[in-house]
């Protein structure tokens, strides 16, 4: 019984770990992150609207507020480009449709509908396939002097057309920036 309980607890932990947001990071290993103290926000360059939800000025403002609040709260000073910040931060979004399937499902049942124990077995089977929007939020840290990308963090599945609230954006930004600056 104790072994079964341990296996059940391990399965629950693995399931919850699979639900945790996945934040990925890449960085320039030669960059000196300890020298970064001031930053400037730069909007991404305008382009054709790929997704009206992800390419909106409303979403951009939410991302900007979350980034500025996070970095300012950690002691970084916001400046302008004219003041030559140590780093520049910007963002990118990408949306795509993702198909989710639970795979084939089977269920068995025994109905004792006849005398003498004769029964029938029910075996319904089918797939549950759903399409949902998967949003990727990417934050770029660019060296303020060399103008080279030195750090990039991103998360997927942070937003859908049903949910790009201030809370969802702030949560995604905080999860990404929790990995900045990188630890040696």
Give the pLDDT confidence score for residue 13 in this predicted structure. 43
All structural domains of the chain: 21-99+131-177 (3.30.160.670)
Tokens for 168, please give them: 């969802």
At 83, give phi and psi (nearest 5°).
-90, 5
Predicted TM-score (pTM) above 0.75: no
Whose CA is closest to 89, among 113, 72, 110?
Answer: 72
100-128 pLDDT, tens digit each: 556 655 554 555 555 555 555 555 555 66
Alpha-carbon span 62 to 52, nearest angstrom: 15
- Comparing 178 with 121, which gets the higher pLDDT? 178
User: Given pLDDT bands bounded at 50, 70 and 90, which one contains residue 156?
Assistant: confident
pLDDT reading at 70 higher than 90? yes
Calculate mean pLDDT across residues 125-145: 77
Give the pLDDT confidence score for residue 15 in this predicted structure. 40
Q: State the first-to-last Cα distance of the chain, in angstroms, to the nearest integer.
A: 44
What is the rounded average pLDDT for all residues in the chain?
78
51-66 pLDDT, tens digit each: 666 778 888 999 999 9
Give the pLDDT confidence score for residue 147 in this predicted structure. 96
Calculate mean pLDDT across residues 141-157: 93
Alpha-carbon span 125 to 139, nearest angstrom: 43
Give the pLDDT confidence score for residue 69 in this predicted structure. 98
Tokens for 20, please give them: 């945790």
């Amino acid at each position: 019984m104790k072994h079964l309980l341990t296996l059940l607890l391990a399965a629950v932990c693995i399931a919850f770990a699979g639900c945790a947001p996945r934040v990925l990071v890449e960085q320039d290993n030669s960059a000196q992150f300890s020298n970064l103290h001031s930053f400037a926000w730069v909007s991404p360059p305008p382009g054709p609207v790929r997704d009206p939800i992800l390419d909106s000025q409303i979403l951009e403002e939410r991302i900007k507020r979350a980034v500025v609040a996070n970095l300012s709260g950690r002691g970084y000073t916001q400046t302008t480009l004219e003041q030559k910040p140590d780093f520049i931060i910007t963002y990118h979004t990408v949306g795509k449709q993702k198909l989710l399937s639970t795979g084939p499902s089977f269920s068995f049942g025994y109905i004792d509908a006849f005398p003498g124990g004769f029964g029938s077995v029910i075996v319904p089977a089918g797939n549950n396939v759903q399409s949902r929007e998967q949003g990727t939020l990417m934050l770029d840290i660019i060296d303020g002097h060399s103008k080279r990308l030195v750090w990039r963090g991103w998360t997927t599945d942070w937003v859908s057309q049903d949910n790009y609230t201030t809370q969802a954006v702030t949560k995604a930004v905080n999860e990404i920036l929790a990995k900045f600056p990188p630890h040696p």
